[in-house]
Structure 1
Amino acid sequence: MNVELRTVTVTQYITPLREGGSLPALAEGCDGFKYVIKFRGAGHGVKALISELLGGLIAKYLGLKVPEIVFIELDERFGQTEADEEIQDLLKFSKGLNLGLHFLSGAITYDVASNDCDSYLASKIVWLDSFITNVDRTYRNTNLLIWNKELWLIDHGAAFYFHHSWDNWEQTAVTPFTMIKDHALISKATELKRVHEEFTARLNDDVLRTIVNLIPDEFLNWEEGPDNDAIREVYFRFLSNRLAHADVFFKAAEDAGKVRI
Protein backbone atom coordinates (compact mmCIF):
# COMPACT_ATOMS: atom_id res chain seq x y z
CA MET A 1 0.00 0.00 0.00
CA ASN A 2 1.45 3.35 -1.05
CA VAL A 3 -0.18 6.45 0.41
CA GLU A 4 1.10 10.01 0.16
CA LEU A 5 -0.76 12.98 1.58
CA ARG A 6 -0.23 16.45 0.17
CA THR A 7 0.54 19.42 2.41
CA VAL A 8 -1.36 22.61 1.61
CA THR A 9 -0.81 26.09 3.03
CA VAL A 10 -3.90 28.15 3.86
CA THR A 11 -4.12 31.42 1.94
CA GLN A 12 -7.63 32.57 2.87
CA TYR A 13 -9.95 31.86 5.79
CA ILE A 14 -13.45 31.95 4.30
CA THR A 15 -15.98 31.11 6.98
CA PRO A 16 -16.45 29.02 10.13
CA LEU A 17 -18.66 25.94 9.84
CA ARG A 18 -20.67 26.07 13.02
CA GLU A 19 -22.46 22.76 12.56
CA GLY A 20 -19.82 21.00 14.66
CA GLY A 21 -18.70 21.74 18.18
CA SER A 22 -15.04 21.83 17.14
CA LEU A 23 -15.63 24.85 14.87
CA PRO A 24 -14.06 23.63 11.62
CA ALA A 25 -13.76 26.17 8.82
CA LEU A 26 -13.90 26.55 5.07
CA ALA A 27 -10.65 27.92 3.71
CA GLU A 28 -8.75 28.23 0.46
CA GLY A 29 -5.37 26.63 -0.02
CA CYS A 30 -2.30 27.65 -1.97
CA ASP A 31 -3.39 25.26 -4.74
CA GLY A 32 -6.60 27.20 -5.36
CA PHE A 33 -8.89 24.51 -3.92
CA LYS A 34 -11.21 24.90 -0.95
CA TYR A 35 -10.87 22.70 2.13
CA VAL A 36 -12.74 22.01 5.33
CA ILE A 37 -10.09 22.45 8.01
CA LYS A 38 -10.07 20.53 11.28
CA PHE A 39 -8.00 22.55 13.76
CA ARG A 40 -5.53 21.18 16.27
CA GLY A 41 -6.50 23.97 18.68
CA ALA A 42 -10.17 22.92 18.89
CA GLY A 43 -12.05 20.59 21.19
CA HIS A 44 -10.16 17.31 21.52
CA GLY A 45 -7.14 18.74 19.75
CA VAL A 46 -4.75 16.55 17.83
CA LYS A 47 -6.47 13.33 18.93
CA ALA A 48 -9.49 14.27 16.83
CA LEU A 49 -7.15 14.91 13.90
CA ILE A 50 -5.58 11.48 14.35
CA SER A 51 -9.05 9.88 14.35
CA GLU A 52 -9.95 11.83 11.22
CA LEU A 53 -6.75 10.73 9.51
CA LEU A 54 -6.88 7.04 10.44
CA GLY A 55 -10.63 6.64 9.95
CA GLY A 56 -10.62 8.40 6.59
CA LEU A 57 -7.65 6.46 5.23
CA ILE A 58 -9.06 3.10 6.32
CA ALA A 59 -12.38 4.00 4.68
CA LYS A 60 -10.58 4.94 1.47
CA TYR A 61 -8.59 1.71 1.45
CA LEU A 62 -11.83 -0.26 1.80
CA GLY A 63 -13.24 1.48 -1.27
CA LEU A 64 -15.55 3.96 0.43
CA LYS A 65 -15.73 7.53 -0.80
CA VAL A 66 -13.99 10.10 1.39
CA PRO A 67 -12.92 13.59 0.24
CA GLU A 68 -9.18 13.95 -0.32
CA ILE A 69 -7.39 14.25 3.02
CA VAL A 70 -4.53 16.73 3.18
CA PHE A 71 -2.25 18.17 5.81
CA ILE A 72 -2.95 21.87 6.28
CA GLU A 73 -0.18 24.27 7.24
CA LEU A 74 -1.34 27.34 9.15
CA ASP A 75 1.03 30.27 9.63
CA GLU A 76 1.09 31.75 13.14
CA ARG A 77 0.29 35.20 11.69
CA PHE A 78 -2.83 33.90 9.98
CA GLY A 79 -6.06 35.20 11.48
CA GLN A 80 -4.56 38.05 13.48
CA THR A 81 -6.99 40.42 11.80
CA GLU A 82 -9.99 38.15 12.50
CA ALA A 83 -12.64 40.14 14.38
CA ASP A 84 -14.23 37.16 16.16
CA GLU A 85 -12.16 36.54 19.30
CA GLU A 86 -13.17 32.88 19.52
CA ILE A 87 -11.99 32.25 15.96
CA GLN A 88 -8.85 34.33 16.49
CA ASP A 89 -7.93 32.21 19.52
CA LEU A 90 -8.65 29.01 17.62
CA LEU A 91 -6.35 30.06 14.78
CA LYS A 92 -3.65 31.19 17.19
CA PHE A 93 -3.62 27.83 19.00
CA SER A 94 -3.71 25.94 15.69
CA LYS A 95 -0.52 27.29 14.14
CA GLY A 96 1.48 24.60 12.41
CA LEU A 97 0.11 21.38 10.97
CA ASN A 98 -3.64 20.72 10.86
CA LEU A 99 -5.86 18.45 8.77
CA GLY A 100 -8.17 19.25 5.87
CA LEU A 101 -10.67 17.56 3.59
CA HIS A 102 -11.39 18.69 0.06
CA PHE A 103 -14.61 20.73 0.05
CA LEU A 104 -17.39 19.06 -1.93
CA SER A 105 -19.11 22.10 -3.37
CA GLY A 106 -22.86 21.63 -3.74
CA ALA A 107 -23.04 18.49 -1.63
CA ILE A 108 -26.17 17.90 0.44
CA THR A 109 -26.46 16.15 3.77
CA TYR A 110 -27.72 12.58 3.61
CA ASP A 111 -31.05 12.21 5.38
CA VAL A 112 -32.15 8.74 6.46
CA ALA A 113 -35.84 9.54 5.99
CA SER A 114 -35.65 10.99 2.50
CA ASN A 115 -32.50 9.51 0.88
CA ASP A 116 -31.79 5.92 -0.06
CA CYS A 117 -28.71 3.77 0.50
CA ASP A 118 -28.39 0.22 -0.83
CA SER A 119 -27.85 -2.55 1.70
CA TYR A 120 -24.35 -3.45 0.50
CA LEU A 121 -23.01 0.11 0.89
CA ALA A 122 -24.82 0.54 4.21
CA SER A 123 -23.22 -2.68 5.45
CA LYS A 124 -19.77 -1.44 4.45
CA ILE A 125 -20.22 1.80 6.37
CA VAL A 126 -21.62 0.05 9.46
CA TRP A 127 -18.73 -2.44 9.45
CA LEU A 128 -16.18 0.39 9.15
CA ASP A 129 -17.68 2.37 12.00
CA SER A 130 -17.80 -0.74 14.19
CA PHE A 131 -14.13 -1.37 13.43
CA ILE A 132 -12.93 2.16 14.22
CA THR A 133 -15.47 2.67 17.05
CA ASN A 134 -17.02 5.74 15.45
CA VAL A 135 -19.78 7.08 17.71
CA ASP A 136 -20.80 9.91 15.40
CA ARG A 137 -22.87 8.63 12.48
CA THR A 138 -26.34 8.69 13.96
CA TYR A 139 -29.81 9.61 12.73
CA ARG A 140 -29.33 13.06 14.25
CA ASN A 141 -25.94 13.59 12.60
CA THR A 142 -25.20 11.20 9.76
CA ASN A 143 -21.88 12.69 8.67
CA LEU A 144 -22.73 11.52 5.17
CA LEU A 145 -22.97 13.72 2.09
CA ILE A 146 -24.52 13.17 -1.31
CA TRP A 147 -22.29 14.58 -4.03
CA ASN A 148 -22.51 13.79 -7.73
CA LYS A 149 -25.21 11.24 -6.84
CA GLU A 150 -22.80 9.26 -4.66
CA LEU A 151 -22.53 8.84 -0.90
CA TRP A 152 -19.43 10.34 0.73
CA LEU A 153 -18.18 9.83 4.28
CA ILE A 154 -16.98 12.79 6.36
CA ASP A 155 -15.95 13.57 9.92
CA HIS A 156 -14.33 10.60 11.66
CA GLY A 157 -12.97 12.73 14.48
CA ALA A 158 -15.06 10.97 17.13
CA ALA A 159 -13.67 7.51 16.31
CA PHE A 160 -11.03 5.71 18.41
CA TYR A 161 -12.59 7.11 21.57
CA PHE A 162 -10.29 4.93 23.71
CA HIS A 163 -7.49 7.47 23.24
CA HIS A 164 -9.20 10.05 25.43
CA SER A 165 -8.50 7.94 28.50
CA TRP A 166 -5.67 5.87 26.99
CA ASP A 167 -5.69 3.23 29.72
CA ASN A 168 -8.28 0.76 28.37
CA TRP A 169 -7.28 0.37 24.73
CA GLU A 170 -6.52 -3.34 25.03
CA GLN A 171 -10.00 -4.09 26.35
CA THR A 172 -11.72 -1.78 23.85
CA ALA A 173 -9.90 -3.47 20.96
CA VAL A 174 -11.55 -6.84 21.59
CA THR A 175 -15.04 -5.85 22.76
CA PRO A 176 -18.27 -5.26 20.80
CA PHE A 177 -19.13 -1.74 19.74
CA THR A 178 -22.50 -1.48 21.47
CA MET A 179 -23.21 2.06 20.23
CA ILE A 180 -23.59 0.67 16.72
CA LYS A 181 -27.27 0.24 17.60
CA ASP A 182 -27.66 4.02 17.11
CA HIS A 183 -26.00 4.05 13.68
CA ALA A 184 -27.93 5.90 10.97
CA LEU A 185 -27.67 2.96 8.55
CA ILE A 186 -27.98 0.00 10.90
CA SER A 187 -31.45 -1.03 9.69
CA LYS A 188 -30.24 -1.02 6.06
CA ALA A 189 -27.07 -3.04 6.75
CA THR A 190 -28.42 -6.46 5.83
CA GLU A 191 -25.29 -7.68 4.03
CA LEU A 192 -22.88 -7.48 6.93
CA LYS A 193 -21.74 -11.10 6.61
CA ARG A 194 -20.67 -10.56 3.00
CA VAL A 195 -18.87 -7.33 3.90
CA HIS A 196 -17.27 -8.91 6.97
CA GLU A 197 -15.71 -11.65 4.85
CA GLU A 198 -14.51 -9.17 2.23
CA PHE A 199 -13.05 -6.59 4.60
CA THR A 200 -11.32 -9.04 6.95
CA ALA A 201 -9.66 -10.59 3.89
CA ARG A 202 -8.63 -7.22 2.51
CA LEU A 203 -7.23 -5.63 5.67
CA ASN A 204 -3.99 -6.88 7.22
CA ASP A 205 -1.23 -5.72 9.53
CA ASP A 206 0.92 -4.35 6.71
CA VAL A 207 -1.91 -2.07 5.58
CA LEU A 208 -2.69 -0.96 9.13
CA ARG A 209 0.98 -0.29 9.89
CA THR A 210 1.34 1.83 6.76
CA ILE A 211 -1.71 3.91 7.67
CA VAL A 212 -0.68 4.39 11.31
CA ASN A 213 2.83 5.43 10.27
CA LEU A 214 1.28 8.39 8.44
CA ILE A 215 0.47 10.05 11.77
CA PRO A 216 2.91 12.98 11.76
CA ASP A 217 5.07 13.83 14.75
CA GLU A 218 3.28 17.19 14.84
CA PHE A 219 0.09 15.37 15.91
CA LEU A 220 1.98 13.54 18.64
CA ASN A 221 4.62 15.09 20.92
CA TRP A 222 2.02 14.86 23.70
CA GLU A 223 2.93 16.38 27.02
CA GLU A 224 1.47 13.32 28.72
CA GLY A 225 2.08 9.70 27.86
CA PRO A 226 4.77 7.83 25.92
CA ASP A 227 6.98 8.93 23.06
CA ASN A 228 5.75 9.26 19.47
CA ASP A 229 6.73 5.80 18.26
CA ALA A 230 5.12 4.22 21.31
CA ILE A 231 1.88 6.12 20.63
CA ARG A 232 1.85 4.95 17.02
CA GLU A 233 2.45 1.41 18.28
CA VAL A 234 -0.67 1.57 20.46
CA TYR A 235 -2.82 2.71 17.53
CA PHE A 236 -1.40 -0.09 15.40
CA ARG A 237 -1.89 -2.74 18.07
CA PHE A 238 -5.43 -1.51 18.72
CA LEU A 239 -6.33 -1.88 15.04
CA SER A 240 -4.46 -5.18 14.64
CA ASN A 241 -6.15 -6.70 17.70
CA ARG A 242 -9.53 -5.37 16.65
CA LEU A 243 -9.15 -6.94 13.22
CA ALA A 244 -8.09 -10.24 14.78
CA HIS A 245 -11.27 -10.18 16.91
CA ALA A 246 -13.52 -8.76 14.18
CA ASP A 247 -16.12 -11.51 14.70
CA VAL A 248 -16.97 -9.89 18.03
CA PHE A 249 -17.99 -6.48 16.68
CA PHE A 250 -19.45 -7.99 13.50
CA LYS A 251 -21.84 -10.16 15.53
CA ALA A 252 -22.85 -7.19 17.69
CA ALA A 253 -23.62 -5.10 14.60
CA GLU A 254 -25.54 -7.95 13.00
CA ASP A 255 -27.65 -8.41 16.13
CA ALA A 256 -28.29 -4.66 16.40
CA GLY A 257 -29.48 -4.60 12.79
CA LYS A 258 -31.98 -7.38 13.41
CA VAL A 259 -33.43 -5.45 16.34
CA ARG A 260 -33.86 -2.26 14.28
CA ILE A 261 -35.49 -3.92 11.27
Structure 2
Amino acid sequence: MLRQVTGIRYVTPLREGGSLPGVVEADDLGTYVAKFSGAGQGPKALVAEVICGELARRLGLAVPRLVVLDIDPVIGRAEPDQEVQELLRNSGGPNLGMDFLPGALGYDPLAHPVDADLASRLLWFDAYVENVDRSWRNPNLLVWHRQVWLIDHGACLYFHHNWPRAAAAVHRAYRADDHVLAPYATRLAEADADLAPRVTPALLTEVLALVPDTWLVGADFDRADAARAAYLVHLSNRATRSAVWLPQGRAA
Protein backbone atom coordinates (compact mmCIF):
# COMPACT_ATOMS: atom_id res chain seq x y z
CA MET A 1 0.00 0.00 0.00
CA LEU A 2 1.04 3.64 -0.30
CA ARG A 3 2.93 5.21 2.59
CA GLN A 4 0.57 6.28 5.36
CA VAL A 5 0.58 9.62 7.17
CA THR A 6 -1.83 11.27 9.59
CA GLY A 7 -3.46 14.63 8.99
CA ILE A 8 -2.94 17.03 11.90
CA ARG A 9 -4.35 20.32 10.55
CA TYR A 10 -6.89 21.22 7.91
CA VAL A 11 -5.48 24.34 6.23
CA THR A 12 -7.87 25.49 3.51
CA PRO A 13 -10.35 24.19 0.94
CA LEU A 14 -9.49 24.28 -2.76
CA ARG A 15 -12.61 25.56 -4.47
CA GLU A 16 -11.42 24.69 -7.98
CA GLY A 17 -12.41 21.02 -7.68
CA GLY A 18 -15.97 19.75 -7.66
CA SER A 19 -15.09 17.26 -4.91
CA LEU A 20 -13.89 20.06 -2.59
CA PRO A 21 -10.30 18.90 -2.03
CA GLY A 22 -8.39 20.67 0.72
CA VAL A 23 -4.86 21.38 1.84
CA VAL A 24 -3.91 19.35 4.93
CA GLU A 25 -0.73 19.29 7.01
CA ALA A 26 0.42 15.85 8.15
CA ASP A 27 2.55 14.39 10.91
CA ASP A 28 5.48 13.82 8.51
CA LEU A 29 5.82 17.64 8.18
CA GLY A 30 4.44 17.38 4.65
CA THR A 31 1.59 19.39 3.15
CA TYR A 32 -0.87 17.54 0.93
CA VAL A 33 -3.82 18.20 -1.30
CA ALA A 34 -6.38 15.85 0.23
CA LYS A 35 -9.01 14.03 -1.81
CA PHE A 36 -11.65 12.86 0.63
CA SER A 37 -13.39 9.50 0.75
CA GLY A 38 -16.61 11.22 1.84
CA ALA A 39 -16.81 13.43 -1.26
CA GLY A 40 -19.63 12.96 -3.75
CA GLN A 41 -17.53 10.89 -6.17
CA GLY A 42 -16.90 8.29 -3.47
CA PRO A 43 -13.92 5.96 -3.07
CA LYS A 44 -13.80 4.99 -6.76
CA ALA A 45 -12.33 8.39 -7.53
CA LEU A 46 -9.55 7.64 -5.03
CA VAL A 47 -8.98 4.22 -6.59
CA ALA A 48 -8.58 5.89 -9.99
CA GLU A 49 -6.19 8.45 -8.51
CA VAL A 50 -3.90 5.74 -7.16
CA ILE A 51 -4.00 3.41 -10.17
CA CYS A 52 -3.51 6.15 -12.75
CA GLY A 53 -1.08 8.27 -10.76
CA GLU A 54 1.21 5.40 -9.84
CA LEU A 55 1.05 3.86 -13.31
CA ALA A 56 1.94 7.23 -14.88
CA ARG A 57 4.89 7.51 -12.51
CA ARG A 58 6.16 4.09 -13.56
CA LEU A 59 5.87 5.10 -17.21
CA GLY A 60 8.15 8.08 -16.63
CA LEU A 61 5.56 10.84 -16.27
CA ALA A 62 5.79 13.31 -13.38
CA VAL A 63 3.13 12.88 -10.70
CA PRO A 64 3.22 14.43 -7.20
CA ARG A 65 3.89 11.89 -4.45
CA LEU A 66 0.75 10.09 -3.28
CA VAL A 67 0.09 8.94 0.28
CA VAL A 68 -2.75 7.47 2.28
CA LEU A 69 -3.79 10.35 4.51
CA ASP A 70 -5.51 9.24 7.69
CA ILE A 71 -8.06 11.82 8.83
CA ASP A 72 -9.61 12.22 12.25
CA PRO A 73 -12.80 14.28 11.71
CA VAL A 74 -11.94 16.29 14.81
CA ILE A 75 -9.49 18.38 12.73
CA GLY A 76 -12.46 20.05 11.06
CA ARG A 77 -14.17 21.34 14.20
CA ALA A 78 -12.66 24.81 13.91
CA GLU A 79 -13.50 25.09 10.20
CA PRO A 80 -16.20 27.77 9.77
CA ASP A 81 -17.50 26.34 6.49
CA GLN A 82 -20.37 23.93 7.23
CA GLU A 83 -19.82 22.05 3.97
CA VAL A 84 -16.19 21.38 4.87
CA GLN A 85 -17.16 20.25 8.38
CA GLU A 86 -19.63 17.77 6.95
CA LEU A 87 -17.10 16.50 4.41
CA LEU A 88 -14.52 15.87 7.14
CA ARG A 89 -17.10 14.15 9.36
CA ASN A 90 -17.85 11.76 6.48
CA SER A 91 -14.19 11.11 5.68
CA GLY A 92 -12.77 9.59 8.84
CA GLY A 93 -10.03 7.04 8.14
CA PRO A 94 -7.95 6.67 4.99
CA ASN A 95 -8.10 9.39 2.35
CA LEU A 96 -5.79 10.26 -0.53
CA GLY A 97 -3.03 12.83 -0.13
CA MET A 98 -1.16 14.34 -3.07
CA ASP A 99 2.05 16.24 -2.37
CA PHE A 100 1.36 19.99 -2.47
CA LEU A 101 3.67 21.69 -4.99
CA PRO A 102 4.27 25.22 -3.63
CA GLY A 103 4.40 27.87 -6.32
CA ALA A 104 3.24 25.55 -9.12
CA LEU A 105 1.48 27.20 -12.04
CA GLY A 106 -1.54 25.92 -13.90
CA TYR A 107 -0.55 24.69 -17.34
CA ASP A 108 -1.17 27.11 -20.20
CA PRO A 109 -0.42 25.71 -23.69
CA LEU A 110 0.52 29.17 -24.96
CA ALA A 111 2.88 29.96 -22.09
CA HIS A 112 4.31 26.47 -21.55
CA PRO A 113 5.18 24.71 -24.83
CA VAL A 114 5.54 20.93 -24.57
CA ASP A 115 7.72 18.94 -26.94
CA ALA A 116 6.17 16.33 -29.22
CA ASP A 117 7.60 13.36 -27.31
CA LEU A 118 6.16 14.37 -23.94
CA ALA A 119 2.83 15.45 -25.45
CA SER A 120 2.54 12.12 -27.25
CA ARG A 121 3.39 10.05 -24.18
CA LEU A 122 0.93 11.98 -22.07
CA LEU A 123 -1.84 11.63 -24.65
CA TRP A 124 -1.12 7.90 -24.97
CA PHE A 125 -1.44 7.50 -21.23
CA ASP A 126 -4.69 9.47 -21.09
CA ALA A 127 -6.11 7.38 -23.93
CA TYR A 128 -5.20 4.18 -22.09
CA VAL A 129 -6.87 5.22 -18.81
CA GLU A 130 -9.72 7.01 -20.65
CA ASN A 131 -9.07 10.36 -19.06
CA VAL A 132 -11.95 12.66 -19.97
CA ASP A 133 -10.59 15.52 -17.86
CA ARG A 134 -7.54 16.90 -19.69
CA SER A 135 -9.17 19.53 -21.89
CA TRP A 136 -7.90 23.02 -22.65
CA ARG A 137 -10.61 24.31 -20.30
CA ASN A 138 -9.31 22.17 -17.42
CA PRO A 139 -5.90 20.66 -18.24
CA ASN A 140 -5.20 19.16 -14.80
CA LEU A 141 -1.52 19.81 -15.44
CA LEU A 142 0.84 21.90 -13.34
CA VAL A 143 4.18 23.43 -14.22
CA TRP A 144 6.64 23.21 -11.34
CA HIS A 145 10.43 23.57 -11.52
CA ARG A 146 10.08 23.79 -15.34
CA GLN A 147 8.45 20.35 -15.53
CA VAL A 148 4.89 19.36 -16.40
CA TRP A 149 3.16 17.42 -13.60
CA LEU A 150 0.00 15.34 -13.93
CA ILE A 151 -2.74 15.74 -11.32
CA ASP A 152 -6.40 14.82 -10.74
CA HIS A 153 -7.13 11.40 -12.22
CA GLY A 154 -10.34 10.75 -10.31
CA ALA A 155 -12.43 10.89 -13.51
CA CYS A 156 -10.37 8.19 -15.26
CA LEU A 157 -11.22 4.48 -15.48
CA TYR A 158 -14.91 5.23 -15.84
CA PHE A 159 -15.56 1.59 -16.78
CA HIS A 160 -15.43 0.83 -13.04
CA HIS A 161 -18.67 2.73 -12.51
CA ASN A 162 -20.49 -0.03 -14.41
CA TRP A 163 -18.70 -3.33 -13.95
CA PRO A 164 -21.39 -5.46 -15.68
CA ARG A 165 -20.66 -3.60 -18.94
CA ALA A 166 -16.91 -3.13 -18.42
CA ALA A 167 -15.86 -6.04 -20.63
CA ALA A 168 -17.83 -4.65 -23.55
CA ALA A 169 -15.98 -1.33 -23.24
CA VAL A 170 -12.45 -2.63 -22.72
CA HIS A 171 -11.28 -1.53 -26.20
CA ARG A 172 -13.42 1.59 -26.37
CA ALA A 173 -11.84 4.22 -28.62
CA TYR A 174 -10.54 7.40 -27.04
CA ARG A 175 -11.63 10.75 -28.44
CA ALA A 176 -8.82 13.26 -28.25
CA ASP A 177 -10.63 16.15 -29.96
CA ASP A 178 -10.68 18.20 -26.75
CA HIS A 179 -7.35 17.08 -25.30
CA VAL A 180 -5.14 20.03 -24.42
CA LEU A 181 -2.01 18.41 -25.90
CA ALA A 182 -3.54 16.80 -29.00
CA PRO A 183 -2.13 19.46 -31.39
CA TYR A 184 1.41 18.71 -30.15
CA ALA A 185 1.19 14.89 -29.97
CA THR A 186 2.77 14.20 -33.35
CA ARG A 187 4.83 11.20 -32.18
CA LEU A 188 2.03 9.05 -30.80
CA ALA A 189 3.12 6.04 -32.85
CA GLU A 190 6.54 6.16 -31.21
CA ALA A 191 4.97 6.61 -27.77
CA ASP A 192 2.74 3.62 -28.39
CA ALA A 193 5.66 1.43 -29.43
CA ASP A 194 7.50 2.31 -26.21
CA LEU A 195 4.71 2.40 -23.62
CA ALA A 196 2.26 -0.34 -24.62
CA PRO A 197 4.73 -3.24 -24.06
CA ARG A 198 5.60 -1.81 -20.63
CA VAL A 199 2.05 -2.06 -19.30
CA THR A 200 2.36 -5.70 -18.28
CA PRO A 201 0.27 -7.73 -15.83
CA ALA A 202 3.23 -7.63 -13.45
CA LEU A 203 3.37 -3.83 -13.52
CA LEU A 204 -0.38 -3.52 -13.11
CA THR A 205 -0.33 -5.97 -10.19
CA GLU A 206 2.33 -3.83 -8.49
CA VAL A 207 0.21 -0.70 -8.93
CA LEU A 208 -3.04 -2.34 -7.83
CA ALA A 209 -1.38 -3.54 -4.62
CA LEU A 210 -0.99 0.11 -3.59
CA VAL A 211 -4.76 0.72 -3.38
CA PRO A 212 -6.14 0.39 0.17
CA ASP A 213 -8.49 -2.57 0.59
CA THR A 214 -11.24 -0.42 2.09
CA TRP A 215 -11.60 1.58 -1.15
CA LEU A 216 -12.04 -1.58 -3.22
CA VAL A 217 -14.74 -3.31 -1.19
CA GLY A 218 -18.32 -2.17 -1.59
CA ALA A 219 -21.32 -2.63 -3.83
CA ASP A 220 -19.35 -4.32 -6.63
CA PHE A 221 -16.94 -6.59 -4.74
CA ASP A 222 -17.02 -8.32 -1.38
CA ARG A 223 -13.25 -8.83 -1.31
CA ALA A 224 -10.37 -6.56 -2.27
CA ASP A 225 -8.53 -9.37 -4.06
CA ALA A 226 -11.55 -9.94 -6.32
CA ALA A 227 -11.63 -6.24 -7.16
CA ARG A 228 -7.92 -6.19 -7.97
CA ALA A 229 -8.34 -9.25 -10.20
CA ALA A 230 -11.14 -7.52 -12.15
CA TYR A 231 -9.08 -4.36 -12.65
CA LEU A 232 -6.10 -6.47 -13.71
CA VAL A 233 -8.06 -8.33 -16.37
CA HIS A 234 -9.62 -5.17 -17.80
CA LEU A 235 -6.46 -3.07 -17.84
CA SER A 236 -4.30 -5.92 -19.17
CA ASN A 237 -6.72 -6.57 -22.00
CA ARG A 238 -6.87 -2.89 -22.90
CA ALA A 239 -3.08 -2.62 -23.04
CA THR A 240 -2.87 -5.36 -25.68
CA ARG A 241 -5.06 -3.53 -28.25
CA SER A 242 -3.75 0.02 -28.33
CA ALA A 243 -4.25 0.30 -32.10
CA VAL A 244 -8.01 0.02 -31.48
CA TRP A 245 -8.38 2.74 -28.84
CA LEU A 246 -5.74 5.28 -29.81
CA PRO A 247 -7.01 8.25 -31.84
CA GLN A 248 -7.39 7.14 -35.44
CA GLY A 249 -4.41 7.54 -37.68
CA ARG A 250 -1.95 7.95 -34.79
CA ALA A 251 -1.22 4.40 -33.66
CA ALA A 252 1.89 2.55 -34.83
TM bracket, shorter-chain basis:
over 0.9
Q: Which residue of structure 2 aligns with residue 31 of structure 1? A: 28
Q: Amino acid of the residue matched to residue 178 of structure 2?
A: D
What's the secondary structure of 2:96's corresponding residue? strand
Measure the CA separation in 2 of the matches of 1:234 and 1:136. Answer: 24
Q: Which residue of structure 2 aligns with residue 258 of structure 1? A: none
Q: 1:253–1:38: structure 2 CA closer, same or farther, 3 Å change rule?
A: farther
Q: Which residue of structure 1 aligns with residue 137 of structure 2? A: 140
The question of whether the paired residues in 2 share the 8 Å contact of 1:132 and 1:160 is answered with yes
Measure the CA separation in 1 of the matches of 2:16 and 2:50. Answer: 20
Aligned residues: 251
Runs of 4+ in 1 over 6 A off after TM superposition: none
Measure the CA separation in 2 of the matches of 1:66 and 1:131. Answer: 17
Q: 1:253–1:236: structure 2 CA closer, same or farther, 3 Å change rule?
A: farther
1:110 to 107, 111, 124: 107
Query: What is the TM-score normalised by the length of structure 2?
Result: 0.95
Q: Aligned pair 1:191/2:193, yes or no?
A: no
| RMSD value, Cα | 1.5
Measure the CA separation in 1 of the matches of 2:67 and 2:108. Answer: 27
Ranges in structure 2 where 5+ consecutive residues have no aligned partner: none
Q: Which residue of structure 1 aligns with residue 151 of structure 2? A: 154
Query: What is the TM-score normalised by the length of structure 1?
Result: 0.92
Measure the CA separation in 2 of the matches of 1:219 and 1:243. Answer: 24
Measure the CA separation in 1 of the matches of 2:219 and 2:172. Answer: 29
Q: 1:253–1:64: structure 2 CA closer, same or farther, 3 Å change rule?
A: farther
The question of whether the paired residues in 1 share the 8 Å contact of 2:109 and 2:180 is answered with yes
Quote the offset at 1:224 in angstroms: 4.7
Within 5 Å, give how 1:51-66 maps onto structure 2.
51-66=48-63
The question of whether the paired residues in 1 share the 8 Å contact of 2:123 and 2:182 is answered with yes
2:75 to 74, 78, 85: 78
Quote the offset at 1:215 in angstroms: 1.6
Q: 167-176 or 6-15: which moved more?
A: 167-176
Measure the CA separation in 2 of the matches of 1:251 and 1:25. Answer: 35
Ranges in structure 1 where 5+ consecutive residues have no aligned partner: 256-261
Q: Aligned pair 1:11/2:13, yes or no?
A: no
Quote the offset at 1:41 in angstroms: 0.5
What's the secondary structure of 2:74's corresponding residue? coil
Measure the CA separation in 1 of the matches of 2:72 and 2:64. Answer: 24
Q: Amino acid of the residue matched to residue 74 of structure 2?
A: R
What's the secondary structure of 1:167's corresponding residue? helix
What's the secondary structure of 2:101's corresponding residue? coil
Q: Which residue of structure 2 aligns with residue 129 of structure 1? A: 126
Q: Amino acid of the residue matched to residue 54 of structure 2?
A: L
